[in-house]
Amino acid sequence: MIVEGAGSAAEVNLRARDIANMGFAEVVDCPVIIVADIDRGGVFAHLVGTLELLSPSEQARVKGFVINRFRGDMSLLESGLTWLEERTGKPVLGVLPYLHGLYLDAEDALPKGQEAKTNAKLRVIAPAYPRISNHNDLDPLRFHPDVDFRFVGPHDAVPSCDLIVLPGSKAVQADLNWLRTMGWEEAIRRHLRYGGKVIGICGGLQMLGTKLNDPLGLEGAPGSAPGLGLLDYETTLAAEKNLENVSGMLTLPGTPAIAGYRIHMGVTHGPAMQRPSTRLAETPEGAISEDGQILATYCHGLFDQPEALNALLEWAGHKPSASFDPNERRERDLDRLADAVEQHMDLARLAEWLPALRTPKETL
């Protein structure tokens, strides 16, 4: 098992409540490797500074360093690697190269930049609201050769496009207020008046309705707030979170198959749900507007299946000219990354620290 930290291993202000980094490593008694991104600059300061801020017991469990995303002449780095090992007494286990264009599922951080494409035909945008979640739902659009996709950040003008996607949110009412402040509500209505399409996923589905109810105060003060009012339903937040893997089909022509998951605390009901966007295990789910311009669903992974992706792009206004399988592309890039790790990491030395033989008591 590989345990991935979150943020920095040396966030001293959060150390007392740390359950994701060195605090966790101490509890489960696992070896630690510190990985630093050289592309950001200051890699030696990052590594030495992090180590210096750890307690003596935490420093002892750090077995070595890995430098990631290196591009350039390796001979220019070697003197720094020697200095780092002499300064810390810890080995450098590898220097991984910068791999361009990797299709890897991100977690919290939004991807930087746009994919270079020469023949993109469909323009798709999504708001990068402050509490955005599950934005990897949109990765198949980012990497599809026919799609010009971009996240639109705060205070950026909302550009003209064919499709707007409202992704998930960790705090729907707060992000909906942000949308209104940034001018998105009028931009979405203008987009629809000109015949554009809109997709809302999970929190985006909830925003499209008439009302957001939070009687328990799960996302802030108890109460209700108006939604965008583009679909006739309302959502009430409940204490128990819905979490399940799902599969089924879109109700678009051809009924293409979809597979993904649902993770939400809202219960949504209203007349618009009588025109479902999907059928999951034969159960109607989501909604499509009467004019066919708006599609909403709780299903994450909406674009992951090639047939569903093609159907949604065609619904949005462009019949794909290229075959694109997000899952195949993701697997190919994972293999590419694994090959780079195998080539550039000292796996034999790494294996020395893996607890291959432990008694049940030691494992606990």
Contacts of 4 (CB under 8 A, 6+ apart): none
Distance CA(275)–CA(253), nearest Å, equals: 14
Coil, strand or helix at 3: coil
Burial degree of 14 (CB within 10 A; 0-12, 13-18, 19+): middle
**By the 8 A CB rule, do 265 and 242 touch?**
yes
- For the question of residue 264 being annotated catalytic, the response is no
Distance CA(235)–CA(270), nearest Å, equals: 9
Spot the catalytic one: 264, 300, 318, 344. Answer: 300
Instruction: Identify the bridge partners of residue 149 per DSSP, sorted by sequence position.
Output: 124
**By the 8 A CB rule, do 205 and 268 touch?**
yes
Task: Give CA torsion, residues 157, 165, 334, 65, to 10 deg.
Answer: 50
User: Shortest CA distance to 203 belongs to which of 171, 239, 250?
Assistant: 171
Spot the catalytic one: 202, 264, 318, 344. Answer: 202
- For the question of residue 191 being annotated catalytic, the response is no
| Strand bridging mode 278-280 / 283-285 | antiparallel
* Number of H-type helices and E-type strands within the chain: 12, 17
Distance CA(199)–CA(137), nearest Å, equals: 12
What are the phi and psi torsion angles at 306 (to 5°)? -55, -45
Residues identified as active-site: 202, 300
